Amino acid sequence: MADATTDQAAKDAEDQSPEVDELRQGWLDVLTDALGDAVVGSHIAPGRVLWVRVARASWFEAAEAARERLGCTFFDFLSAIDWMPSPWGRYEDSAVDVGVKPFDPSSSFTTGVAGGDTRFQLLCHLANVRGRNGQRADVMLKTDLPDDDLRIRSLVPLYGGANWHERECWEMFGVEFDGHPGLRHLYLPSEFEGHPLRKDFPLLARLVKPWPGIVDVEPRPAAADEEVEPATADDADGAADGNGDEA
């Protein structure tokens, strides 16, 4: 599963060298010497965002370091990404019209920036908005959560704002936060089962109603027997890659 990430890290390294963003490089160095080898991966989009991926165990320490060392007192948001492609198909080709592409977990999927090898990845953005340590800074912390044990330490003791974000993340992805004052449902009714934002959670609205765009131009009524070339699938048809050829 992790083969995709090795070339990913290599690609990161070489595209970083052309213009090194020394500002973010500085923040990265501050964090690396604070966390040591807990910093597993990092990526800099020059002039835009600094991603730092830390090991799951030192998630709390990473946030603490960002807060003390970089002065990131502003808690922007915390969420998760489910990297598995959706087995329910893409865009409008809902299961009713097109055979479901069964997803086999063994097939590899690429994870995003700054590497990562598990399906669930936690994401948190902290910022130093008052420019206390002389300079405004912001860092995007990432960490990987193994599929079988979605547990991590809660950031509520550090930031009050983490309370709601973690409740939403627990509700939508099923990530357990140890030490959270009250993991209750935030948006969904109390007897809701399942975690909606996981990719394998079906979006029922799309499965119930047949997609009106699936209909195609019927052949000429008089010449039903003569050979009919597939429907005129011009390039726009590529959007729904599964449905062009039934006539």
Partner 1 sequence: MAKFPAPKAPGLVKGLGVTLKTMMKTTFPSRGMKTLIPAPSIGAATVQYPHEKEMPAPRARGVIALKEENCTVCMLCARSCPDWCIYIEGHKDTAPPRRPGGKPRQVNKLDRFDIDYALCMYCGICVEVCPFDALFWSPEYEYSELRLADLLHDKDRLGEWMQTVPDFEPYEAGSEQKVRKVPR
Partner 2 sequence: MTVTERQQRAYVDAQAADARVNVELETDEGMTLNIGPQHPATHGTLRVVAKLDGEQVVWADVVPGYMHRGYEKLAEVRTFPQVTTLVNRIDWLGSFANEVPFILAAEQLMEIEAPPRARHIRTILFEMARVANITLFLGDLGAQLGAVTPVFYAFRDREHVLDQIEAVTGGRFHPNFDRIGGLKDDLPKGWIADTKAVMERIRAFCDQVEELLFGNEIFEARTRGVGVVPAEVALSYGLSGASVRGSGVDWDLRRDGGVTGLAHADLDWKVWTHPDGDSFARCWVRLQETREATKMVDQLCDGLPGGPIMAKVPRIIKVPEGEAYVETENPLGAMGYYVVSKGDLGPFRVKIRSASFSNVSILPWLLRGVYVPDIITILASLYFILGDIDR
Q: Which is nearer to partner 2, 32 or 86 (CB)?
A: 86
Is residue 154 within 8 Å of 166, Cβ to Cβ? Answer: yes
String of b and e for 218-234 (b: at least 16 CB within 10 Å)?
Answer: eeeeeeeeeeeeebeee
Q: Which is nearer to partner 1, 98 or 188 (CB)?
A: 98
Is residue 28 within 8 Å of 67, Cβ to Cβ? Answer: no
Is residue 61 within 8 Å of 101, Cβ to Cβ? Answer: no
14 binds partner 2 (CB under 8 A): no
Is residue 32 within 8 Å of 69, Cβ to Cβ? Answer: no
239 binds partner 1 (CB under 8 A): yes
Residue 18: its H or E element: none
216 binds partner 1 (CB under 8 A): yes
Is residue 137 within 8 Å of 127, Cβ to Cβ? Answer: yes
Helix axes 59-68, 22-35, angle to 10 degrees: 130
Among 16, 26, 32, 49, indicate the residue that binds partner 2 (CB under 8 A): 49
Q: Which amino acid is at 83?
A: W
Among 30, 123, 183, 231, indicate the residue that binds partner 2 (CB under 8 A): 123
CA 52 – CA 62 distance, rounded (Å): 9
85 binds partner 1 (CB under 8 A): no
Among 161, 174, 213, 244, indicate the residue that binds partner 2 (CB under 8 A): 161
18 binds partner 1 (CB under 8 A): no
130 binds partner 1 (CB under 8 A): no
Binding positions for partner 1, rule: CB under 8 A: 92, 209, 211-213, 215-221, 232, 234, 236-237, 239-240
Binding positions for partner 2, rule: CB under 8 A: 45, 47-49, 51, 73-77, 79, 81-82, 85-86, 90-92, 110, 112-113, 123, 125, 129-131, 136, 140, 158-161, 163-164, 172, 184-191, 196-197, 199, 201, 203, 206, 235-236, 238-239
